[in-house]
A and B are shown apart, each in its own frame.
Chain A
Amino acid sequence: MAAVYAGVTGSQAAAPEPPPIRFEEIAAKAGLRFELQNGEAGGFHQIELTLGGVAALDYNNDGCADVFFTNGAAIPSLRKTGARFPNRLFRNNCNLTFTDVTAESGLAGEGYSMAVAAADMDNDGWTDIFVAGVKGNTLYRNLGDGRFRDVTEMAGLAAGEPRWAVSAGWVDYDNDGRLDLFVSNYVEWDAAKEPRCGTPERQYYCHPNAYRGLPNQLFHNDGDGKFTDVSKASGIGAHVGKGMGVSFADIDGDGLTDIFVANDSVRGMLFQNEGNGKFTETGLEAGVALREDGHAIAGMGADFRDLDNDGRADLLVSGILNDSFLLFRNLGGRKGFEDYAQRTGLLMSTRQLTGWSLGIYDFDNDGWKDVFFALAHLMQLDRYLGRKAALANRVYRNIEGKRLEDVSAGAGAEFQLAAAHRGSAFADFDNDGRMDVVVTAVNGPAKLFRNVTGGKSHWLGLRLRGVKANRQGLGATVRVHLADGRDLYNHATTAVGYASASEAIVRFGLGTAAAEFVEIRWPGGRVQRLTGVAADRVVDVTEEP
């Protein structure tokens, strides 16, 4: 019996314990000095809670990820009065220092900004910026010389009734090689009609139930600098929600990118791409609409990624205190998703958290994507909790796709510091192969967490260049086949988390293995295989004709 037991448990040598995921916070040292200002002045305006989008993008194509921060404005004017409210662009000097280039870039902006979506929308090789906000969005075209031009009107994006957008993302939904724009709208809001909530003695921020929801919008990129609102024609506009984070992936392997929208206190929506310019909302049938008990969580950030390396994008959604975050495992095809939060341990360990942005990246490059959460309770929850609402962020290590282990305590001293965190953007800012993250905090300094995880794990980054596909290859799915027989999967997207945009490079942690081949399925279905790809570098891949 003892021999049998040994045979079951002891025949394989234990895998070496991976080094702990660790970050050091270097924003001030690196010159990334930014304070997100929500303009609060005692009015308990709902918009004060939800801002904070940030982007990691290489706007000048120097191979180093830069940072763009959105910012608030005065209330009720929604004007960026004074020096504390401009949006800000910081150029990465490629030596882990940053220079504020807002003035020369023309990106200071106007209005109460919420979110940013960054991608090369006109296929000219330069990353453009869409800023979503309260009653006004702005599209900036990157001119390629360090300057951006406001092309909102010219693009046809200024038309229609102004709404409150909380997130946005670039997606080529019809595989025509041009990136289209999805805008996640929250609720109807007017400073002059802000409802009063709370008790006679104490005012609170209102629950989202006090506001009417809004439908999302989809704008088709016509290729001539103009966009056409296809919200109605596509079916997207038929669904009213309270949209927060948005995430894209081809969830059923049909070569078409699908869309998930996390809604605040309303069920999540999954827009399944039918391939004829139309979407069907299938959140209920797919099993990603609600928590397992039928409760609509206060959905915030979202990310589609393959957590268990089975080639299918799983879905992670953050929520607020006592919601528990949602994790759904993709069963493939049209089988939908199953609840995976309990089995991975995420359900109970996130029950006392409030999450905003998030991202699924392999922070220790061991071949399993880990999870980062930007956290903070709502500001009024201090009385509920009996302590401050600020929270430290959390990082969870993925243990072979089966468990998510909270390893925050070992992630470094600065990682334990609480703040009113909101947006997050992921990139390898120092090009050392380890994913870093920049995080915003309401009325506090932004943080740049440099990944200093040890070990000798290998990694690979793919900078895609579409030819028939959109220039950045967004929507492409990538398989890396390792020499030890395992396959790793990821896909190209910049829409990650909440209100934020991350680098377009598709990254893989390889552990101790080497890549035997890399297979790219470009939007539209063309498959390209690369062999002899060396590790520990970012490889430029141009789509074969």
Chain B
Amino acid sequence: MRFLLAAVVVMFCAMAASPGQASYERANALFVAKKFPEALAAVEEALRLDARLVPALTLKAKLAMAANRYDVARQSLERALAVDPRAQYAQFLYGMEAYMNNEMTDALTRFQRARELAPKDPRAALYLGLATESVGQPKEALALYQEAVRLERATGQLSAETLLPGVRLLLLLGRIEECEEWARQAVKLSPKLRDAHFELARLLLKKDTAPEAAAEGEVALGLSEGTATDSAIHYLLVRAWRQAGQPEKAAAHAAVMRALETAPVNRAQ
């Protein structure tokens, strides 16, 4: 206990002693406020004052990733991890950098290390699962999704976003009952998240309950929060209404899709 207290004091002193700490904290506040150019300037100032300040190196990587500068992010994270190989969040972001760059073998190694450093962090389990699924190991991926859900449940912080990768994979695997349980839970947790309703609608269509699928799809379409595209939801609705015996509604959604796809084409051309 005495040793632990001493370690905390040493860490606090080390942090407090960093000449870049104030600039880093300012940078972090600016990042949270989504003032990215100002945050970048502040984090550069922090690193000018202390080139080994791990939180600043990590924040710089986050900023770089937001700007699609994965090369800069990688350099910054490698410097952070050289200073502190046990920096959990830097290690997680290092995995993200590889994942976003489609370098899955590196992503797997890095997320695995992040899991070792923070075994109770559901993010590490979730993203290790996503990378694992990407390289064609669905059973192992599903186990990791289940672990991420378990970890979040243990803290009482279960989110729909953590459930949804599992919902998608369970649907692919044809494990309909488990998929439905998770999908309905996601809808309950985030009733305003279109992704949750969309995934539930896909499941209902797969179950040959087209009217229910169409109803759920229409709910998804009416929501704005989430990553499911309008186009994907309309496509589901085209098929759901057709199967439900309402071709005029299907045709209406197809017409909207065509309007959506010609608009960006015209702009691009």
Footprint of B on A, CB under 8 Å?
199-201, 212-213, 240, 267, 284-285, 287, 289-290, 292-295, 322, 336, 342, 347-348, 351-352, 381, 383-386
Contacts and interface: CB of A to CB of B under 8 A. Distances in A.
Contacts of A213: 265
A201 B103 CA distance: 15
B105 A385 contact: yes
Interface residues of B, number: 36
B238 A199 contact: no
5 contacts: A200-B71, A285-B238, A293-B202, A294-B235, A351-B136
B236 interface: yes
Interface string B249-260: 011001001100
Contacts of B246: none
Most chain B CB atoms below 10 A, which of A267, A290, A295: A290
Interface of B: 70-71, 101-105, 134-136, 138, 168, 172-174, 202, 228-229, 231-236, 238-239, 242, 250-251, 254, 257-258, 261, 265, 268-269
B104 A285 contact: no
Contacts of A284: 235, 238, 254, 257-258
Contacts of B238: 284-285, 287
A352 B265 contact: no
A347 to B, nearest CB: 7
Given A285-B242, A295-B232, A348 B138 contact: yes
B269 A294 contact: no
A318 B147 CA distance: 33
A199 B138 contact: no
Contacts of A287: 238-239, 242
Contacts of A201: 71
A287 B231 CA distance: 14
A342 B205 CA distance: 14
B89 to A, nearest CB: 23
Nearest to B173: A348
A199 B172 contact: no
A240 B269 contact: yes
Given A285-B238, A289-B235, A294-B231, A383 B172 contact: no
B250 to A, nearest CB: 7
B232 A386 contact: no
B136 A352 contact: yes
Interface of A is mostly: loop
A351 B138 CA distance: 10
Contacts of A348: 138, 172-173
A212 B267 CA distance: 11
| A-B CB proximity, top 8 nearest | A294-B232, A386-B105, A352-B136, A284-B254, A294-B235, A384-B102, A199-B71, A383-B103
Contacts of A352: 135-136
A326 to B, nearest CB: 13
A384 B104 contact: yes
Nearest to B232: A294
Contacts of B234: 294
A381 to B, nearest CB: 8
Contacts, number: 63
B242 A336 contact: yes
Given A240-B269, A284-B254, A342-B172, A293 B232 contact: yes
A515 to B, nearest CB: 37
Contacts of A267: 261
Given A351-B136, A384-B102, A212 B268 contact: yes
Contacts of B231: 294
Nearest to A266: B261
Contacts of B134: 322
Contacts of B250: 285
Contacts of B173: 348
A384 B235 CA distance: 30
Nearest to B109: A386
B221 to A, nearest CB: 12
Contacts of B138: 348
Contact of B172 (A240, A289, A294, A347): A347
A94 B110 CA distance: 58
Nearest to B239: A287
Given A284-B235, A293-B168, A385-B105, 8 more contacts: A240-B265, A285-B242, A293-B232, A294-B232, A342-B172, A348-B172, A351-B136, A385-B104
A290 B254 CA distance: 12
A280 to B, nearest CB: 11
Contacts of B104: 384-386
Chain A CB count within 10 A is highest, among B232, B233, B239, B265, for B239
A290 B71 contact: no
B232 A212 contact: no
A330 to B, nearest CB: 14
Given A212-B268, A384-B104, A294 B71 contact: no
A290 B202 CA distance: 14
Contacts of A383: 102-103, 105
Nearest to A188: B269
A382 to B, nearest CB: 10
Contacts of A342: 172, 174
**Residue among A213, A381, A385 with the highest chain B CB neighbour number at 10 A:** A385
Contacts of A384: 102-104
A267 B236 CA distance: 14
A348 B105 CA distance: 20
B251 A294 contact: no
A293 B231 CA distance: 10
B172 A212 contact: no
B74 to A, nearest CB: 9
Nearest to B205: A292
Nearest to A284: B254
Contacts of A336: 242
Nearest to B254: A284
Given A336-B242, A384-B103, A294 B236 contact: yes
A12 B165 CA distance: 43
Nearest to B70: A199
Nearest to B253: A284
A212 B242 CA distance: 32
A385 B268 contact: no
A351 B107 CA distance: 19
Given A200-B71, A212-B268, A284-B258, A290 B235 contact: yes
A359 to B, nearest CB: 24
A212 B172 CA distance: 32
Nearest to B168: A293
- Chain A CB count within 10 A is highest, among B70, B136, B168, B236, for B136
A293 B168 CA distance: 9
A289 B260 CA distance: 15
Contacts of A351: 136
A285 B232 contact: no
A385 B135 contact: yes
A89 B136 CA distance: 40
B4 to A, nearest CB: 41
Contacts of B174: 342
Contacts of B105: 383, 385-386
Contacts of A295: 232
A62 B105 CA distance: 53
B22 to A, nearest CB: 32
Contacts of B239: 287
B262 to A, nearest CB: 8
